[in-house]
Amino acid sequence: MTTDHEHITVYKGNIVDSPSMEELRTLENGYLVVNGDRVIGTYATLPEEYKGCAITDYGHRIILPGFVDLHFHAPQFANRGLGLDKELLPWLEEYTFPEESKFKDLSYAKEIYPQVVHALWKNGTTRSVIFGSVHKESTEFLLDLFIDAGLGAFVGKVNMDRNCPEFIVEDSDQSLSETLEIIEKYADQSDLVRPILTPRFVPVCSTPLMEKLGAFARDHSVFVQSHISENQGEVDWVKELHPDSLDYASIYHDYGLFGHQPTIMAHCVFNTEKEIELMAKSGVYAAHCPHANYNLASGIMPVRNFLNKGVSVGLGTDVGAGHQVSIPKVMTAAVQASKIKWLESGKTLDPLKLSEVFYMGTKGGGRFFGKVGSFEADYAFDALVVDDRELGTLNLTLKERLERYLYIGDDRHIEKRYVAGKEVPEPKKLPDL
């Protein structure tokens, strides 16, 4: 890394990040030095060698890493807050599949997807992992929107060729050919936005489909996202469909879709101990989505058990089973859920701490993207500038100010957003008609 002053910017303010699960690092009136798109370091006193560099002084404001959402369904955005008195499988049949089928019409995608990208930007989500629908054109449009917006994202065309309504079920060969076309088209278009393989979940994916997707993952080095063990009815259904398989996780694993390339599995409410061990061994990420699990009466992921066994855990809003786009609200919900799980476990699974959920929603999820989510040296400069004055007195520790912002602040308090060293302007919310 060169130190040419032309490419170095210094940001001054109250700096907070979590380099590890156990550490919430705070620096009052500190300096954050950036070279291009990468962090050089944070300093209590600006080193002499950088005193000739441009300084952007954010005064009393807090500078945080950008938030990372590991699980978001873009075509469910318009369904937020609907049907949430149901459980998972009826909710999919009555609300989700009908809504997602509308994205066969590209004009509908052009109406909804700009709102999705704008909502992520607005809520400070600088990197996200996105489920599209089964429709190729709409998924490509969504990829293009993220590229144009300057936000980081993995975006996947969903694959499902069985056990779903006729109006949305795919032909297996077409599903595969369209997936491969997207992979090849977007493999090198952007450093920030990439395609990701997205088998929806085992019950709606045939064996030949999963086998071929596993081959795509291997042959094209494509990342993978899916669901696992969200709902007890779902788990029972998987056992009926695959009676000879050891468990849910082993099905994905046998088809090369479980850590053979970087992989995210959402929910993980009912995983067995063997499945958790396989996740840890295979380096599979778990996306914890407490809002969605509450809304669909799925249960509470025993996050502490996963952490104790070495599984990487990030956070997901799971829009639209999750009703909010805000990762800070998911952080606070994760703390609340862990407290209930602590009681349910006879106080054996310790509740999550602030540093842990903040880590999950920044560096913990950011690791899926590489060196993202922290202000450590050589990490991508993804950052938010937060003005929390209207939340109350500033005569608090930075940790207390962060905690208060996560619980009672919102998107109105985010003044600036940076991704890979560049300030990201507000994207269009509504399409050009």
State residue 360's pLDDT score.
98
Beta bridge pairs of residue 9: 34, 54
The residues, any chain, with a CB within 8 Å of residue 364's CB and separated by 6 or more, are: 21, 68, 312, 313, 314, 315, 373
Backbone angles phi, psi at 64, to 5 degrees: -120, 155
How crowded is residue 175: how many other Cβ atoms within 10 Å of its Cβ? 24
Distance, in Å, from the CA atom of 356 to the CA atom of 39, rounded to the nearest integer, reads 22
**H-helix or E-strand spanning residue 23:** strand 23-35
Question: Could you give the C-alpha distances from 70 to 108, 153, 212, in angstroms and in order?
Answer: 25, 9, 24
**What's the pTM?**
0.96
- For tokens 């990040």, name the residue: 17
Residue ranges per domain, the chain?
5-65+373-423, 67-369
State residue 4's pLDDT score.
57
Report the helix count and the strand count for the chain, using DSSP H and E.
15, 17
CATH top-level class of 5-65+373-423: mainly beta
State residue 89's pLDDT score.
87
Distance, in Å, from the CA atom of 18 to the CA atom of 360, rounded to the nearest integer, reads 9
Nearest Cα neighbor of 301 from 337, 248, 262 is 337
The secondary structure of residue 201, as a DSSP letter, is -
State residue 430's pLDDT score.
73
State residue 428's pLDDT score.
84
Alpha carbons within 13 angstroms on the beta-carbon side of residue 420 total 13
The secondary structure of residue 430, as a DSSP letter, is S
The average confidence (pLDDT) of the chain is 95
Distance, in Å, from the CA atom of 234 to the CA atom of 248, rounded to the nearest integer, reads 10
Q: Could you tell me if 103 and 138 are in contact, meaning their C-beta atoms sit under 8 angstroms apart?
A: yes
State residue 301's pLDDT score.
97
Distance, in Å, from the CA atom of 373 to the CA atom of 67, rounded to the nearest integer, reads 7
Low-confidence ranges of the chain (pLDDT < 50): 1-3
Q: Could you tell me if 276 and 311 are in contact, meaning their C-beta atoms sit under 8 angstroms apart?
A: yes
Token pair recorded at residue 56 = 């952007």
| Protein fold of 67-369 | TIM Barrel (3.20.20)
